[in-house]
């Protein structure tokens, strides 16, 4: 699965080790760091374009080094990832890839993944890449790229979303309203694309990285 993004947000979860993720990070034109991710970026020699958050997780030395790109938001109604997304929107960015949003703490992972459906209306394209797979929010029916045998899961954080029909998955879903997160999980792509037809809201599609 090949993807390209000019704009990347790095959250304070597990710093990526996936070679494709690191290559995207090295080539990105804009790197927005949630404040807790600054040390990991610095160790890799990447200078963030902006650092966003309540700034309580930055070592003093890095706070001084990057003083010209700190953007402090102290309100506690949103997490640092949402503050970084808001900064990206205010900066007129239209496509954003999120790295480092999973791992370390499971509660952060679940919260960050579920927020993708909140971010999707704000940007023309937003996805979350981990060392294991890619999360893509869908607000409407869509066809996505895949590889034969690739593991696919569909999550509906908001109740009432009906999957009218799927094509290209080993276990078809037809006219089913997902009422729990597990119900659309653990499927498999039959070829190089699969299609979801939706009514009533959006879903998050997870595509596990192919073995090769």
The predicted pLDDT at position 212 comes to 64
- Mean pLDDT across the chain, nearest whole number? 94
Alpha carbons 37 and 41: distance in angstroms, whole number: 6
Q: What is the mean pLDDT of residues 187-202?
A: 95
Full-model pTM: 0.95
Alpha carbons 36 and 57: distance in angstroms, whole number: 5
Strand partners, 125: 95
Alpha carbons 200 and 202: distance in angstroms, whole number: 7
CA distances from 21 to 28, 69, 70, 80, 84 (A): 11, 24, 24, 21, 19
To the question of domain 7-131 being in CATH 3.40.50.10240, the answer is yes
Start-to-end Cα distance in the chain: 10
pLDDT at 189 over 70: yes
At 160, is the pLDDT very low, low, confident or very high (cuts 50, 70, 90)? Answer: confident
Alpha carbons 205 and 142: distance in angstroms, whole number: 11
CB distance 182 to 154 below 8 Å: no
Strand partners, 17: none
CB distance 106 to 75 below 8 Å: no
- Condensed to tens digits (0 to 9), the pLDDT of residues 18-66 reads 999 999 999 999 999 998 899 999 999 999 999 999 888 899 999 999 9
- Condensed to tens digits (0 to 9), the pLDDT of residues 64-121 reads 999 999 999 888 788 999 999 999 999 999 999 999 999 989 999 999 999 999 999 9
Alpha carbons 86 and 119: distance in angstroms, whole number: 9
Q: What is the mean pLDDT of residues 195-209?
A: 95
Strand partners, 137: 204
Pairing of strands 184-188, 174-177: unpaired
CA distances from 89 to 20, 25, 36, 55, 95 (A): 25, 19, 20, 20, 9
DSSP structure string for 174-195: EEEE--SGGGEEEEEB-SSEEE
């Amino acid at each position: 699965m090949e993807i390209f993004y000019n704009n990347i947000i790095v959250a304070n979860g597990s710093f990526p080790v996936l070679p494709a993720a690191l290559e995207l990070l090295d080539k990105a034109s804009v790197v927005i760091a949630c404040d807790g991710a600054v040390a990991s970026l610095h160790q890799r020699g990447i200078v963030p374009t902006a650092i966003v958050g309540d700034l309580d997780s930055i070592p003093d030395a890095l706070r001084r080094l990057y003083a010209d790109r700190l953007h402090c938001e102290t309100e506690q109604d949103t997490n640092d990832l949402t503050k970084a997304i808001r900064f990206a929107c205010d900066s007129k960015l239209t496509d954003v890839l999120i790295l480092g949003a999973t791992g370390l703490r499971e509660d952060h992972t679940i919260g960050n993944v579920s927020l993708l459906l909140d971010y999707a209306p704000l940007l023309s394209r937003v996805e979350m890449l981990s060392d294991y797979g890619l999360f893509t929010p869908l607000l409407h029916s869509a066809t996505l790229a895949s590889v034969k045998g690739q593991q696919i899961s569909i999550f509906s954080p908001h109740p009432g979303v009906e999957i009218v029909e799927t094509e290209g998955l080993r276990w078809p879903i037809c006219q089913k309203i997902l009422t729990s997160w597990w119900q659309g999980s653990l499927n498999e792509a039959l070829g190089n694309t699969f299609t979801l037809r939706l009514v009533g809201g959006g879903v998050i599609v997870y595509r596990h990285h192919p073995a090769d």
